[in-house]
Structure 1
Amino acid sequence: MPTTTKRAAPDACSLLDADHRKVKKMFGDYDALVRSKTASAAQKKRELAAEICMELTVHVRVEEEIFYPALRGAIKETELLDEAEVEHGTVKELIAQLEAATEADDMFDAKVKVLGEYIDHHVKEERNDIFVKARAARGLDLVGMRGQLAARKQELMDELAGATV
Protein backbone atom coordinates (compact mmCIF):
# COMPACT_ATOMS: atom_id res chain seq x y z
CA MET A 1 0.00 0.00 0.00
CA PRO A 2 1.55 3.35 -1.00
CA THR A 3 2.09 5.96 1.65
CA THR A 4 0.46 9.30 1.20
CA THR A 5 1.29 12.63 2.71
CA LYS A 6 -1.64 14.36 4.29
CA ARG A 7 -1.81 17.96 3.11
CA ALA A 8 -3.08 20.61 5.42
CA ALA A 9 -6.43 22.11 4.49
CA PRO A 10 -6.12 25.42 2.64
CA ASP A 11 -6.15 28.16 5.24
CA ALA A 12 -5.93 31.94 5.55
CA CYS A 13 -2.15 31.81 5.20
CA SER A 14 -2.32 29.81 1.96
CA LEU A 15 -4.83 32.30 0.53
CA LEU A 16 -2.61 35.25 1.45
CA ASP A 17 0.43 33.47 0.07
CA ALA A 18 -1.38 32.86 -3.23
CA ASP A 19 -1.78 36.66 -3.41
CA HIS A 20 1.96 37.00 -2.79
CA ARG A 21 2.79 34.64 -5.67
CA LYS A 22 0.37 36.40 -8.03
CA VAL A 23 1.82 39.83 -7.33
CA LYS A 24 5.41 38.55 -7.57
CA LYS A 25 4.63 37.30 -11.08
CA MET A 26 3.10 40.66 -11.94
CA PHE A 27 6.26 42.46 -10.79
CA GLY A 28 8.29 40.10 -12.99
CA ASP A 29 6.03 40.90 -15.94
CA TYR A 30 6.53 44.61 -15.25
CA ASP A 31 10.32 44.18 -15.23
CA ALA A 32 10.09 42.44 -18.61
CA LEU A 33 8.16 45.43 -19.99
CA VAL A 34 10.81 47.83 -18.67
CA ARG A 35 13.51 45.82 -20.44
CA SER A 36 11.52 45.50 -23.69
CA LYS A 37 11.60 49.24 -24.53
CA THR A 38 8.82 48.81 -27.12
CA ALA A 39 6.52 51.64 -28.14
CA SER A 40 3.53 49.97 -26.51
CA ALA A 41 5.38 49.24 -23.25
CA ALA A 42 4.46 52.53 -21.56
CA GLN A 43 0.71 51.90 -21.76
CA LYS A 44 1.13 48.25 -20.76
CA LYS A 45 3.27 49.30 -17.79
CA ARG A 46 0.57 51.74 -16.61
CA GLU A 47 -2.10 49.05 -16.89
CA LEU A 48 0.00 46.43 -15.11
CA ALA A 49 1.01 48.89 -12.38
CA ALA A 50 -2.68 49.69 -11.85
CA GLU A 51 -3.42 45.96 -11.48
CA ILE A 52 -0.53 45.55 -9.04
CA CYS A 53 -1.79 48.51 -7.00
CA MET A 54 -5.33 47.12 -6.90
CA GLU A 55 -4.15 43.64 -5.84
CA LEU A 56 -1.93 45.08 -3.12
CA THR A 57 -4.59 47.50 -1.89
CA VAL A 58 -7.06 44.65 -1.44
CA HIS A 59 -4.44 42.37 0.12
CA VAL A 60 -3.38 45.01 2.64
CA ARG A 61 -7.00 45.75 3.56
CA VAL A 62 -7.93 42.12 4.25
CA GLU A 63 -4.81 41.62 6.33
CA GLU A 64 -5.47 44.76 8.35
CA GLU A 65 -9.22 44.21 8.72
CA ILE A 66 -9.31 40.47 9.41
CA PHE A 67 -6.00 38.59 9.58
CA TYR A 68 -3.85 40.84 11.81
CA PRO A 69 -6.58 41.61 14.38
CA ALA A 70 -7.34 37.88 14.76
CA LEU A 71 -3.66 37.13 15.10
CA ARG A 72 -3.17 39.89 17.67
CA GLY A 73 -5.78 38.15 19.82
CA ALA A 74 -4.12 34.75 19.46
CA ILE A 75 -0.37 35.34 19.87
CA LYS A 76 1.69 37.04 22.56
CA GLU A 77 4.52 38.53 20.48
CA THR A 78 2.93 41.12 18.22
CA GLU A 79 6.08 43.08 17.26
CA LEU A 80 6.07 41.47 13.81
CA LEU A 81 2.48 42.60 13.27
CA ASP A 82 3.42 46.14 14.28
CA GLU A 83 6.29 46.06 11.78
CA ALA A 84 4.03 44.62 9.08
CA GLU A 85 1.51 47.42 9.57
CA VAL A 86 4.27 50.04 9.32
CA GLU A 87 5.38 48.35 6.08
CA HIS A 88 1.78 48.53 4.87
CA GLY A 89 1.91 52.29 5.42
CA THR A 90 4.89 52.60 3.09
CA VAL A 91 3.20 50.34 0.53
CA LYS A 92 0.10 52.56 0.64
CA GLU A 93 2.25 55.67 0.11
CA LEU A 94 4.01 54.15 -2.92
CA ILE A 95 0.65 53.06 -4.34
CA ALA A 96 -0.69 56.61 -3.93
CA GLN A 97 2.37 58.00 -5.75
CA LEU A 98 1.94 55.51 -8.60
CA GLU A 99 -1.77 56.26 -8.91
CA ALA A 100 -1.07 60.01 -8.99
CA ALA A 101 1.68 59.74 -11.62
CA THR A 102 0.88 61.27 -14.99
CA GLU A 103 3.24 59.10 -17.03
CA ALA A 104 5.15 55.82 -16.82
CA ASP A 105 8.63 57.39 -16.87
CA ASP A 106 11.89 56.33 -15.21
CA MET A 107 10.71 57.54 -11.78
CA PHE A 108 7.50 55.57 -12.20
CA ASP A 109 9.56 52.46 -13.02
CA ALA A 110 11.78 53.12 -10.00
CA LYS A 111 8.74 53.36 -7.71
CA VAL A 112 7.33 50.08 -9.06
CA LYS A 113 10.74 48.44 -8.52
CA VAL A 114 11.02 49.72 -4.95
CA LEU A 115 7.44 48.62 -4.26
CA GLY A 116 8.33 45.14 -5.53
CA GLU A 117 11.42 44.99 -3.33
CA TYR A 118 9.40 46.13 -0.36
CA ILE A 119 6.79 43.47 -1.02
CA ASP A 120 9.49 40.78 -1.33
CA HIS A 121 10.80 41.75 2.12
CA HIS A 122 7.30 41.78 3.60
CA VAL A 123 6.42 38.40 2.07
CA LYS A 124 9.55 36.77 3.51
CA GLU A 125 8.63 37.96 6.99
CA GLU A 126 5.05 36.78 6.63
CA ARG A 127 6.04 33.36 5.30
CA ASN A 128 8.91 32.74 7.71
CA ASP A 129 7.52 34.29 10.87
CA ILE A 130 3.93 35.51 10.88
CA PHE A 131 2.38 32.50 9.11
CA VAL A 132 4.40 30.12 11.29
CA LYS A 133 3.10 31.82 14.44
CA ALA A 134 -0.44 31.94 13.06
CA ARG A 135 -0.45 28.22 12.29
CA ALA A 136 0.94 27.42 15.74
CA ALA A 137 -1.57 29.62 17.60
CA ARG A 138 -4.20 27.81 19.62
CA GLY A 139 -7.82 28.67 19.00
CA LEU A 140 -7.23 30.48 15.71
CA ASP A 141 -9.44 29.01 12.97
CA LEU A 142 -7.31 29.73 9.91
CA VAL A 143 -9.37 27.40 7.73
CA GLY A 144 -12.57 29.27 8.61
CA MET A 145 -10.80 32.60 8.27
CA ARG A 146 -9.88 31.72 4.69
CA GLY A 147 -13.56 32.02 3.75
CA GLN A 148 -13.84 35.39 5.49
CA LEU A 149 -10.75 36.67 3.70
CA ALA A 150 -11.93 35.41 0.31
CA ALA A 151 -15.36 37.01 0.74
CA ARG A 152 -13.91 40.36 1.84
CA LYS A 153 -11.36 40.24 -0.98
CA GLN A 154 -14.17 39.78 -3.49
CA GLU A 155 -16.15 42.68 -2.00
CA LEU A 156 -13.13 44.97 -2.22
CA MET A 157 -12.27 43.87 -5.75
CA ASP A 158 -15.85 44.58 -6.82
CA GLU A 159 -15.73 48.01 -5.14
CA LEU A 160 -12.43 48.94 -6.77
CA ALA A 161 -13.51 47.63 -10.17
CA GLY A 162 -16.69 49.69 -9.90
CA ALA A 163 -14.71 52.78 -8.97
CA THR A 164 -12.51 52.53 -12.08
CA VAL A 165 -15.35 52.08 -14.58
Structure 2
Amino acid sequence: MSSCSPSITTMIRMDHTHVMAAFHRYHAQTPWWRKRAIVELACTALEIHAQLEEEIFYPALSEVMAGDERLTKSKPEHDAMREEIAKLRAMGPQDAAYDARFRQLMREVMHHVADEETVLLPTAERALASQLSELGMRMTKRRMQLVAQHHPSAIAANTAGTFPLASLAVISLGALAIARCLRPAGARRIARDA
Protein backbone atom coordinates (compact mmCIF):
# COMPACT_ATOMS: atom_id res chain seq x y z
CA MET A 1 0.00 0.00 0.00
CA SER A 2 2.78 2.45 0.84
CA SER A 3 4.17 2.12 -2.70
CA CYS A 4 0.88 3.60 -3.96
CA SER A 5 1.18 6.68 -1.78
CA PRO A 6 3.02 9.78 -2.95
CA SER A 7 6.22 10.31 -1.01
CA ILE A 8 6.08 12.68 1.93
CA THR A 9 8.34 15.14 0.11
CA THR A 10 6.04 15.14 -2.92
CA MET A 11 3.06 15.79 -0.65
CA ILE A 12 4.84 18.67 1.09
CA ARG A 13 5.69 20.23 -2.28
CA MET A 14 2.05 19.83 -3.40
CA ASP A 15 0.91 21.59 -0.22
CA HIS A 16 3.33 24.43 -0.92
CA THR A 17 2.06 24.73 -4.50
CA HIS A 18 -1.58 24.74 -3.34
CA VAL A 19 -1.02 27.56 -0.84
CA MET A 20 1.08 29.57 -3.30
CA ALA A 21 -1.68 29.25 -5.91
CA ALA A 22 -4.19 30.58 -3.37
CA PHE A 23 -1.84 33.45 -2.48
CA HIS A 24 -1.61 34.45 -6.14
CA ARG A 25 -5.40 34.75 -6.37
CA TYR A 26 -5.45 37.47 -3.71
CA HIS A 27 -5.39 41.11 -4.87
CA ALA A 28 -6.33 44.40 -3.24
CA GLN A 29 -9.28 44.79 -5.65
CA THR A 30 -10.59 41.25 -5.04
CA PRO A 31 -14.19 41.31 -3.71
CA TRP A 32 -14.40 40.95 0.07
CA TRP A 33 -16.19 37.58 -0.02
CA ARG A 34 -13.49 36.09 -2.24
CA LYS A 35 -10.73 37.59 -0.06
CA ARG A 36 -12.26 35.82 2.93
CA ALA A 37 -12.47 32.51 1.03
CA ILE A 38 -8.84 32.76 -0.12
CA VAL A 39 -7.58 33.67 3.35
CA GLU A 40 -9.58 30.95 5.07
CA LEU A 41 -8.49 28.30 2.57
CA ALA A 42 -4.83 29.33 2.84
CA CYS A 43 -4.96 29.52 6.64
CA THR A 44 -6.62 26.13 7.04
CA ALA A 45 -4.22 24.55 4.57
CA LEU A 46 -1.25 26.07 6.41
CA GLU A 47 -2.50 24.90 9.81
CA ILE A 48 -3.00 21.34 8.58
CA HIS A 49 0.33 21.36 6.73
CA ALA A 50 2.24 22.63 9.76
CA GLN A 51 0.69 20.04 12.05
CA LEU A 52 1.50 17.25 9.60
CA GLU A 53 5.11 18.35 9.34
CA GLU A 54 5.46 18.64 13.11
CA GLU A 55 3.90 15.24 13.80
CA ILE A 56 5.43 13.21 10.98
CA PHE A 57 8.08 14.91 8.82
CA TYR A 58 10.20 16.78 11.36
CA PRO A 59 10.52 13.84 13.79
CA ALA A 60 11.69 11.57 10.95
CA LEU A 61 14.08 14.22 9.67
CA SER A 62 15.46 14.98 13.13
CA GLU A 63 16.93 11.47 13.20
CA VAL A 64 19.29 12.43 10.37
CA MET A 65 19.58 16.19 11.01
CA ALA A 66 19.72 16.28 14.82
CA GLY A 67 20.61 19.77 16.01
CA ASP A 68 20.58 21.29 12.52
CA GLU A 69 19.68 25.00 12.73
CA ARG A 70 17.40 24.90 9.68
CA LEU A 71 15.31 22.11 11.14
CA THR A 72 15.35 23.64 14.62
CA LYS A 73 13.90 26.95 13.39
CA SER A 74 11.01 25.32 11.52
CA LYS A 75 8.71 24.89 14.54
CA PRO A 76 9.15 28.54 15.72
CA GLU A 77 8.39 29.65 12.14
CA HIS A 78 5.18 27.60 12.26
CA ASP A 79 4.32 29.25 15.58
CA ALA A 80 4.85 32.72 14.08
CA MET A 81 2.63 31.73 11.15
CA ARG A 82 -0.09 30.57 13.56
CA GLU A 83 0.06 33.96 15.30
CA GLU A 84 -0.41 35.75 11.96
CA ILE A 85 -3.32 33.44 11.16
CA ALA A 86 -4.97 34.22 14.50
CA LYS A 87 -4.60 37.96 13.85
CA LEU A 88 -6.09 37.57 10.36
CA ARG A 89 -9.03 35.61 11.68
CA ALA A 90 -9.67 38.27 14.31
CA MET A 91 -10.33 40.82 11.58
CA GLY A 92 -12.30 40.85 8.36
CA PRO A 93 -11.66 41.78 4.74
CA GLN A 94 -13.22 45.21 5.37
CA ASP A 95 -10.43 46.01 7.87
CA ALA A 96 -7.80 48.37 6.40
CA ALA A 97 -4.96 46.18 7.72
CA TYR A 98 -6.33 42.91 6.29
CA ASP A 99 -4.47 43.08 2.98
CA ALA A 100 -1.17 44.00 4.67
CA ARG A 101 -1.56 41.25 7.28
CA PHE A 102 -2.21 38.63 4.58
CA ARG A 103 0.79 39.85 2.55
CA GLN A 104 2.91 39.54 5.71
CA LEU A 105 1.74 35.97 6.16
CA MET A 106 2.56 35.30 2.50
CA ARG A 107 6.11 36.64 2.97
CA GLU A 108 6.71 34.49 6.04
CA VAL A 109 5.38 31.38 4.33
CA MET A 110 7.41 31.97 1.16
CA HIS A 111 10.59 32.29 3.21
CA HIS A 112 9.75 29.07 5.09
CA VAL A 113 8.90 27.24 1.85
CA ALA A 114 12.19 28.32 0.27
CA ASP A 115 14.15 26.90 3.22
CA GLU A 116 12.24 23.64 3.12
CA GLU A 117 12.47 23.16 -0.61
CA THR A 118 16.16 24.01 -0.91
CA VAL A 119 17.48 22.26 2.21
CA LEU A 120 15.07 20.05 4.15
CA LEU A 121 13.30 18.23 1.32
CA PRO A 122 16.47 17.37 -0.65
CA THR A 123 18.10 16.17 2.59
CA ALA A 124 15.06 14.00 3.35
CA GLU A 125 15.08 12.56 -0.16
CA ARG A 126 18.70 11.46 0.28
CA ALA A 127 18.68 10.39 3.93
CA LEU A 128 15.16 8.94 4.22
CA ALA A 129 14.79 7.51 0.72
CA SER A 130 13.54 4.11 1.88
CA GLN A 131 10.93 5.68 4.19
CA LEU A 132 9.43 8.40 1.97
CA SER A 133 6.41 6.42 0.72
CA GLU A 134 5.58 5.03 4.15
CA LEU A 135 5.83 8.53 5.63
CA GLY A 136 3.63 9.77 2.78
CA MET A 137 1.02 7.15 3.61
CA ARG A 138 1.08 8.17 7.28
CA MET A 139 0.72 11.81 6.25
CA THR A 140 -2.27 11.00 4.03
CA LYS A 141 -4.06 9.15 6.83
CA ARG A 142 -3.40 11.92 9.31
CA ARG A 143 -4.45 14.60 6.79
CA MET A 144 -7.84 12.92 6.41
CA GLN A 145 -8.31 13.06 10.19
CA LEU A 146 -7.32 16.73 10.35
CA VAL A 147 -9.52 17.73 7.41
CA ALA A 148 -12.47 16.05 9.11
CA GLN A 149 -11.81 18.21 12.19
CA HIS A 150 -11.65 21.44 10.15
CA HIS A 151 -15.21 21.37 8.74
CA PRO A 152 -14.88 19.83 5.26
CA SER A 153 -17.91 21.76 3.97
CA ALA A 154 -16.19 25.07 4.84
CA ILE A 155 -13.02 23.88 3.13
CA ALA A 156 -15.05 22.97 0.02
CA ALA A 157 -16.84 26.34 0.00
CA ASN A 158 -13.57 28.23 0.41
CA THR A 159 -11.95 26.15 -2.33
CA ALA A 160 -14.82 27.04 -4.67
CA GLY A 161 -14.45 30.72 -3.76
CA THR A 162 -10.69 30.61 -4.30
CA PHE A 163 -10.61 28.48 -7.46
CA PRO A 164 -14.09 28.94 -9.02
CA LEU A 165 -13.30 27.75 -12.56
CA ALA A 166 -11.41 24.66 -11.41
CA SER A 167 -14.22 23.87 -8.97
CA LEU A 168 -16.80 24.23 -11.72
CA ALA A 169 -14.80 21.93 -13.97
CA VAL A 170 -14.52 19.25 -11.27
CA ILE A 171 -18.24 19.49 -10.46
CA SER A 172 -19.13 19.29 -14.16
CA LEU A 173 -16.95 16.23 -14.70
CA GLY A 174 -18.45 14.60 -11.63
CA ALA A 175 -21.98 15.32 -12.86
CA LEU A 176 -21.15 13.86 -16.28
CA ALA A 177 -19.70 10.73 -14.69
CA ILE A 178 -22.77 10.29 -12.48
CA ALA A 179 -25.11 10.85 -15.44
CA ARG A 180 -23.19 8.27 -17.46
CA CYS A 181 -23.40 5.74 -14.62
CA LEU A 182 -27.13 6.32 -14.16
CA ARG A 183 -27.94 5.83 -17.83
CA PRO A 184 -29.76 2.57 -18.55
CA ALA A 185 -27.47 -0.27 -19.65
CA GLY A 186 -29.05 -0.42 -23.12
CA ALA A 187 -28.38 3.25 -23.74
CA ARG A 188 -24.74 2.80 -22.69
CA ARG A 189 -24.37 -0.16 -25.07
CA ILE A 190 -25.87 1.81 -27.98
CA ALA A 191 -23.61 4.79 -27.28
CA ARG A 192 -20.55 2.49 -27.04
CA ASP A 193 -21.40 0.70 -30.32
CA ALA A 194 -22.01 3.94 -32.22
- TM score, norm. by length of structure 1: 0.83
Deviation at 1:150, TM superposition (A): 1.2
Structure 2 equivalent of residue 142 of structure 1: 132
Q: Which residues of 2 match residues 36-75 of structure 1 at below 5 A?
A: 36=30, 41-75=31-65
CA–CA distance in structure 2, aligned partners of residues 141 and 81 of structure 1: 18
Q: Where does structure 2 lack aligned partners over 5 or more consecutive residues?
A: 156-194
Question: Percent identical across equivalent pairs?
Answer: 28
Structure 2 equivalent of residue 3 of structure 1: none
Deviation at 1:107, TM superposition (A): 0.6
Q: Which amino acid aligns with 1:26?
A: A
Q: Where does structure 1 lack aligned partners over 5 or more consecutive residues?
A: 1-8
2:142 to 132, 152, 155: 152
Q: Which amino acid aligns with 1:87?
A: E
Structure 2 equivalent of residue 85 of structure 1: 75
Matched-pair contact (CA < 8 Å) for 2:61–2:124: yes
Deviation at 1:164, TM superposition (A): 6.0
Partner SS for 1:148: helix
Does residue 93 of structure 2 align to residue 97 of structure 1? no
CA–CA distance in structure 1, aligned partners of residues 78 and 148 of structure 2: 22
Partner SS for 1:153: helix
Matched-pair contact (CA < 8 Å) for 1:70–1:140: no
Matched-pair contact (CA < 8 Å) for 1:27–1:116: yes
2:17 to 16, 21, 33: 21
The number of residues matched between the two structures is 151
Structure 2 equivalent of residue 11 of structure 1: 7
Deviation at 1:109, TM superposition (A): 0.8
CA–CA distance in structure 2, aligned partners of residues 11 and 62 of structure 1: 14
Partner SS for 1:106: coil
Q: CA RMSD in A?
A: 2.1
Deviation at 1:95, TM superposition (A): 0.6
Give a deviation string over 1:62-94, Cα, whole Å, max 9, x none.
Answer: 001111011112334521111111111110000
Does residue 25 of structure 2 align to residue 35 of structure 1? no
Deviation at 1:106, TM superposition (A): 2.7
Partner SS for 2:138: helix
CA–CA distance in structure 1, aligned partners of residues 75 and 34 of structure 2: 30
Structure 2 equivalent of residue 6 of structure 1: none
Deviates more, 1:139-148 or 1:45-54: 139-148
- TM score, norm. by length of structure 2: 0.71
